[in-house]
Structure 1
Amino acid sequence: MKQSNVIKLCLVAVPLGITLIGAFSLIYSFNAPASKPREGGRSVLNVNVLSTPEELRSWVKRQTTDIGPRPWNNADQTRVTAKWIESELSEENIGYRPKITFLGDNKSYRMIEAELVGEKTANEVLLIISNFSSPEVGLGAHSGASQISMMLGLARYFVNTENARTLRFVAFPSSYPDVNGKKILGSSYVAKKSKRPSEKIIGVIEIGSLGFFSEEENSQSSIQEFDINLPKKGDFIALIGDEFSHDSMGSIISGFVKSFDLPVHKVLLDNNQLEAFSGLSLFRNSGYPIIKISDTGSLRYTSADTPKKIDYHKNAQLLKVMSLVISDELNP
């Protein structure tokens, strides 16, 4: 073939090849998932993605192993944990634009909010709340990290979904110091500040510690001080609240009872018993119905609270149930 013909062929073939490649790329981009899961529990912009047990574990280990103990009175660790949660919720990761509020004008103590505005009745808001502090002793895998991993899993599931009502996630330290150094409960700030003007809080779900289960008889203790009796076997999930909250959020409670494979125990508190759960009483005093979801694991385990103690497969099953139940509540 003459050199001139080769040159002519290249001039035609190369642009044609580039055009075909571009066309195939466009076709792929329209049909491929929006994005794929990333290492370390970071999620995607797909809709209704359920986090796996491995991803829940990675979030717990990120808090306990990489960050370490996170007691409320350690300002540095509290700040690091809050910034990590903010990063996980951000557009670069799960896909929200978190709002940050400093508690007591102290930049080490932050409330992180992320929300999906409702399409029809945006003024009706369901709050999902949890504190991210660990106990003063230990890593706080079950007590602290487990509930934040579940909150992140819920945030991942609902990102980019369209719902009638507004869904708002709120993470906060268990306590913070005021200007005089006095200890203030984080939930007291959340109860006062989470509601916007003209909004109606239809309910609050507090995510407590989750993931410690036992099939052994007599593995569960009760709260003797307040005469709160619980089943003897620690294999259940407790839905804790007063009569008003149980009535107001009855559809959520019935959804759990019908959908979760493990036993679901409804704990109905009177006014005196409500004081055993300070976070619940603060929200009730503000007029909001609130249900705490917890395995009451602190009444079950006697050994160290480490990531290995958590049953991530059961937590993944619970996450699926929570996602479906919350979805029904957002779209009555």
Structure 2
Amino acid sequence: MFFSVFMFAIWLSPAFSQDKPIGRFTFSEIHDNVKDSVVTLEVEATVVIQGRPQSADGSGSGVVWGKDGYIVTNKHVIQEDSSVNGQEIKRRARKVYVVSPTGIKITATIVGVAPDTDLALIKINEESVANFKAMEIGDSDSIRVGEHVLAIGSPFGLGGTLTSGIVSSVRSIDMNGSKLPHQMIQTDAAINPGNSGGALVNLDGELVGIPTMIISRTGSNAGIGFAIPSNVVKKIVEDIKNEKTSLGYLGINVQNVNELSSVIRKQLGLQDAGGVMVTSLVPDGPSANSGISQGDIILSVNAQEVKDDVGFRWLERSLSPGKEAFLEIKKRTPNAVEKVKIVVGENKEADTL
């Protein structure tokens, strides 16, 4: 394997750009505007290797979310499960400290985590909020490939570090053999250990992503970094606040229609079809007796358009187990659009909040 994926907090082992950037502010002005909205996190953690606990310290970054003391970071900054040479390794934070740009260290509590999106929410007391400034949240759906973005965080513990780049792509990412339930923003802005949980902002000084991982041969920046889109972060923050602890499940396997060859699409009458095609249904799953069949096209879930398989999984994930969901289905035979009702199941295999 020539390339590796690195998810970046810092952990110490136990004992081509646009000619004219467009935006409201210069890089310097953006840094001044957001420097009090991005914090350094210092973490005291316990690492369990082969059942033996050991102490480990680490650091990462966080983004001030609103005016109530909430701070968003990556889940792997405060807890992580991994395997090295067949040995399971578990790391859990005992204490989390938020360090302000002026060096004030404040104890934070962990509100909750969303393992399937690698996001976490922590909180400081209300008396400490005055030391910080809430980040302005942008619309990540509006970003375009080629536009300038800035990464702000604490690489190698160096708080307030600013790097620049462009949006290289917006794409789905495979992790551990399966696609993440949302797309990621790819950027060539320098992202290094400690940037995890920090901010990726546009030239209006608005958060558009949370830097999370890079692809690199060396473990350091190689110009291929990824950030979780801000619109995804908004949804996860609300889920954690509302203590949503289970993920929706429909029991439908799908394939993107646009991934089919033009010949097959023509044979199936799908030349102009969007959405995803049903490849199979899970036996005894929530959709097994719904009337959905192999080859059907899913156009929407609860009136929200399905553009691709990642979008479908994101909508599925957001459903509430036990509630009804309505899917708009284009049937192959007869060629008609139907609305199908399904009682949502619970995804018991996915990591949950």
**Structure 2-normalised TM-score?**
0.26
Task: Specify which structure has the bigger relative contact order, considering alpha-carbon pairs within 8 angstroms and separated by 6 or more residues.
Answer: 1
**Structure 1-normalised TM-score?**
0.27
